A and B are shown apart, each in its own frame.
Chain A
């Protein structure tokens, strides 16, 4: 079970405070809200890229608030896929897991045979699928998704949304999606929260 208790963060203005969330195993939650309301920062705080002002993050009864991002075991899919241009698709995936089955991971995201492809030649959708495959290979305890579908056209994003949902459900992996798009939130998540 994954729990956020009383999270708060502010820069010049308050981004969020008293944020509480409980994720049951395999549960998918979407957080919506207007752009600039601190959704991205919330995710960055949860995965440990930024520090919280207040609050506690608990994973399986363990307080992980002070654990650095690289040891937290929480995955994050960035808005634009972050793929390393000096590595090909296979080597990008290997960054997540040395022993994982790369070709299986690629086939799960419908990119069979993409191992040796140069990442700079991938389309937006393909790139996001590689990023997803890589995130799942790392076997995260929770996967955070920061508007990963927003840069894709509607058809593509809807297809990807259902693909990703299936994959997450198959692994029983809890996930938090932030998006400003209510339709996508509805299709993707079991539960929708709104952040003001």
Chain B
């Protein structure tokens, strides 16, 4: 296949699978709500359901970012400046929360504050704090991954020189004049990402802070009645208003993020490889609690899946049992079996892989190809493949619902793979982001030399290109599988009301069964444990293929 066809196919698929549904959904909402951006934005103030939601969203995201930094920077410092036994294991454990599906995190924190844990859930005032801590747990890895490489590789002579200068005599002076300026882009980038993830938080908000909404969870709540002409018009306005705000904030943050990343990269050459680091016994005071913090919610999920709480006349009692696992993995009328969900999840993840990986790769190739000949066009394509990052997962779910299924529900409902569309939309941009730098760094003479040796295009592709991009391809694949298996927001919107239940969605459904059923909580935790173990396995396999000192986004 010549480059021209690859480019056309990639762009065509991208437009029809990703851009078109979103556009059709937007078109539909506007058709119902009328083209009046002012009234869309205004509706956020005028509706009971959306009142205070924007404020809540911003405040919790800001506080989450602050707390994440407060916890993360000391940990990154300890890990970066000193040597630790089993350093990479410690780093992996601390990164683990970030790869957990948000619904698993929600179940974990619910278990910690629940009656088998701290038993503070009955106090409403603890919910907000719990949410912030959960967000910090989730995003801790960002701070560590961003800051640690800078700290651990900075040439020691920089600090030694600073000690001898008047402005670096004190620890504070060195911090202000050396560490802060060097770390600042990394810290800001981590804060920026944490803000974005907390801003679009859905599963955690839905479960932990009852009665409060982020823009994301509000859109999910009212989404099912959107897009019907003449019915609940105000909800369409709300979704449009919320989407505009969310999209703008995400675009701004992503722009800021990429600017910070560039500044970060320009500071990284200060590094030196040969640094002898000392151990720091006192550091365990920080590192040990951090490890416990990272592991605790996951342990809580697993343990409480075996804890049954039975309610009968006059009170409740608790006992250990595997009943909840049986319950979760047996289908009933109102709930499919977790087996079905597991099969769907695995099936969707694999098919998503087969679509998103080639699509993302072809897009990356197209961008790379255009960079040489038409840099402006390459830049446009580059940016537009990043646009889905600014479309949150609930928005993508609504896109599939209103922009795709709605067009021909009988057709789309009969297709088992309809939800895959949402997964493809979410994962493809990540593939582009992972593959593009890999393709860029691949020396073209490898391909040219193979050409000279008489290898055909197909042969070169299989014998040279694929093996040389193997690492990035594997990381992309694992990423797709992990994101697809853990995807919650879009699936919640698209699949909740269908036979297409996936693991994250069924956890939510099981937990939503009235609590007079003693299995509700442990069964949700049982399925969460399965999802958690899958995420862990996928995570362990990425750690194996991760380049040694990437310090990047993931």
Q: Do chains A and B touch in the complex (CB under 8 A)?
A: yes
In contact, A76 and B446 (Cβ under 8 angstroms): no
B222 to chain A, nearest CB (A): 52
- On whether the beta carbons of A70 and B454 are closer than 8 Å, the reply is yes
Chain B residue nearest to A91 in the complex (CB): B463
Are B451 and A84 in contact, CB atoms less than 8 angstroms apart?
A: no
List 21 contacting pairs A-B, 8 Å CB cutoff, sorted by A: A47-B452, A48-B451, A49-B448, A49-B451, A49-B452, A69-B451, A69-B452, A70-B457, A70-B460, A73-B454, A75-B453, A78-B445, A78-B448, A78-B449, A80-B445, A82-B443, A84-B446, A84-B467, A86-B470, A96-B454, A134-B453
Evaluate whether A71 and B454 lie within 8 angstroms (CB atoms) in the complex, with A49-B448, A76-B449, A86-B470 already known: yes
Q: Is A95 an interface residue (CB 8 A)?
A: yes
CA distance A74 to B451 in the complex (A): 10
Could you give, for residues 449-467 of chain B, a 1 whenever the CB lies within 8 Å of some chain A CB and a 0 otherwise?
A: 1111111110010011001
If A86-B468, A86-B470 touch, does A138 touch B453 (CB 8 Å cutoff)? yes
Having A82-B448, A86-B470, A95-B453, one finds 16 other A-B pairs with CB under 8 Å, namely A47-B452, A48-B451, A49-B451, A70-B452, A70-B455, A70-B457, A70-B460, A75-B452, A76-B449, A82-B446, A84-B464, A84-B467, A85-B468, A87-B467, A95-B463, A135-B452
Residues of chain B at the chain A interface (Cβ within 8 Å): 443, 445-446, 448-457, 460, 463-464, 467-468, 470
A-side binding surface: helix, strand, loop or mixed?
Answer: loop
Q: How many A-B residue pairs have CB under 8 A?
A: 56
Give chain A's interface residue range (CB within 8 Å of chain B): 20 to 34
- Mostly helix, strand, loop or mixed at chain B's interface? helix
CA distance A86 to B451 in the complex (A): 17
What CA separation (Å) do A77 and B41 show in the bound complex?
Answer: 64
Rounded to whole angstroms, the CA-CA distance of A90 and B451 in the bound complex is: 19
Q: Are B455 and A76 in contact (CB under 8 A)?
A: no
- Chain A contacts of B468 at CB under 8 A? 84-86
Q: Which A87-143 residues have a C-beta within 8 angstroms of B?
A: 87, 95-96, 134-135, 138
Is the Cβ of A74 less than 8 Å from the Cβ of B470? Answer: no
A192 CA to B463 CA, complexed, in Å = 38
CA of A49 to CA of B453, assembled, Å: 12
B347 CB, min distance to chain A CBs, angstroms: 32
Say how far B470's CB is from chain A's closest CB, in angstroms. Answer: 7
A82 touching B445 by the CB < 8 A rule? yes
Please give me the residue from chain A that is nearest to B463 by CB atom: A95
Q: Which partner residue on chain B sits nearest A140 by CB separation?
A: B452
> Do A95 and B455 contact each other (CB < 8 Å), given the known contacts A78-B445, A82-B446?
yes
CB-CB nearest in chain A for B468: A86
Complex partner residue of B453 from A68, A80, A87, A96, CB under 8 angstroms = A96
Q: How far is the CA of A157 from the CA of B519 in the complex (A)?
A: 78
